[in-house]
Amino acid sequence: MKRPLRYLSGAVLALLYAFLLMPLVVVALASFSGGEVLRFPPEGFSFKWYARFFANESFLSALMLSLRLALVSAVTVSVLATMAALFYRRLPYRWREPFRILVIMPLLLPEILTAIGLLFFLYRVGLGSSAFGLQIGHIVVTLPFAFLSVAAALQQIDSSLEEASASLGAGTFETFRRIVWPLIRPGIFTGALFAFIVSFDMFTMSFLLKPIGGNTLPLAVFDYLKYDFDPMAAAAATLSVGFALLVVLLVEKTVGLRRAF
């Protein structure tokens, strides 16, 4: 590429990113405001909205519920996605694509449709407006992310590796433990990470299935903004981004994202 063209494309890209990231930066900066109204530029600097956030009972319980939902989703979905991906690979060729589409269906359908369907279903089986029902909803929506990640990792494993392992005396389980598991582990962690972040930020599903008296963090922020327009909402939103970043960093430190992706 010619040099001026390269500079131009770089500038366009920078502009695009700036446009996408600006709202985030504005919200984050606004959360450190010393004033009483959510506005930009913020008036003064203080941590008071963070202090108020952590003193706010309903925000705190919403944060805890969101963390619990995300954590349970990430763990459950890792196990389910791994099993589904292993099964998927063993399927006869003509059944593979139908199975894959079935598993990633919640990703293809509008979340609101899945949520309405689940709402009816959960009420019918007696789990309406329960924390457990909401957890199921989160698992349904996050499963495709984990499945795609694990299936991609599995695809990297040539079947001759398993054959070699078998010929060297390892049974199915030992081959999984010594060969398949170490090789797909980064994929599983990445899938769990996706599931955590998607669950933590999920709005539509939570909105329809939320348990009585329970609120997730995105819902709590939304509720709060309906009546109050002060920087505490910005603080809550910033914290939610912070948590997502924290999880990414954690995965980066433990397995390394470059290996995971």
Partner 1 sequence: MAHLEIAGLRKSHGAVQVIAGVDLAVASGEFFTLLGPSGCGKTTTLRCIAGFIAPNDGDIRVDGASVLNAPPEKRGFGVVFQNYALFPHLTVAENVGYGLKTRRVPWEEARRRVGEALAMVQLFGLKDRLPRELSGGQQQRVALARAIVIRPRLLLLDEPLANLDAKLRHELRWLIRDVQRAQGTTAIYVTHDHAEAMALSDRIAVMRNGQIAQVGTPREIYQRPLERYVASFTGETNTLEARVVAEAGPGRYRVAVAGSELEATGPAGLTPGTVRHLLARPESLSLAPEGAAGVSVRLDAVVYVGAALRCEVVTACKQRVVLQVPVQRAYTPGETLSLAIDPAQAWLMAPGEAA
Residue closer to partner 1, measured from CB, 57 or 158: 158
Region from 23-31, 71-79, 173-181, 230-238 binding partner 1, contact rule CB under 8 A: 173-181
Output the smallest distance, CB 159 to partner 1, in A: 9
Which backbone phi and psi does 141 adopt, to 5 degrees? -75, -35
171 scored as a contact of partner 1 (CB under 8 A): yes
170 scored as a contact of partner 1 (CB under 8 A): yes
246 scored as a contact of partner 1 (CB under 8 A): no
Closest-CA residue to 195 (of 76, 83, 74): 74
Count of CB atoms within 10 A of residue 170's CB?
Answer: 16
CA angle (214 as vertex; 35, 79 as ends), nearest 5: 110
Residue 54 makes CB contacts below 8 A (sequence gap 6+) with 60
Amino acid at position 80, single letter: L
Please pick, from the candidates 57, 92, 160, 226, the single residue that binds partner 1 as defined by CB under 8 A.
160
The Cα–Cα gap between 245 and 155 comes to: 28
161 scored as a contact of partner 1 (CB under 8 A): yes
Residue closer to partner 1, measured from CB, 72 or 183: 183
Output the smallest distance, CB 185 to partner 1, in A: 9
| Neighbour-count burial for 211-238, b at 16+ CB within 10 Å, e otherwise | beebbbbbbbbeebbeeeebbbbbbbbb
Residue closer to partner 1, measured from CB, 6 or 178: 178
Please pick, from the candidates 178, 246, 254, 261, the single residue that binds partner 1 as defined by CB under 8 A.
178
90 scored as a contact of partner 1 (CB under 8 A): no
Region from 9-17, 22-30, 156-164, 210-218 binding partner 1, contact rule CB under 8 A: 156-164
The upper half-sphere exposure of residue 112, i.e. CA atoms within 13 Å in the direction of its Cβ, equals 0
Output the smallest distance, CB 183 to partner 1, in A: 6
Residue 41 makes CB contacts below 8 A (sequence gap 6+) with 29
Please pick, from the candidates 183, 225, 255, 257, the single residue that binds partner 1 as defined by CB under 8 A.
183
Closest-CA residue to 60 (of 211, 224, 208): 224
Please pick, from the candidates 164, 245, 249, 250, the single residue that binds partner 1 as defined by CB under 8 A.
164
Region from 99-107, 157-165, 221-229, 232-240 binding partner 1, contact rule CB under 8 A: 157-165
Contact residues for partner 1 (CB under 8 A)?
A: 158, 160-161, 163-171, 174, 178-179, 182-183
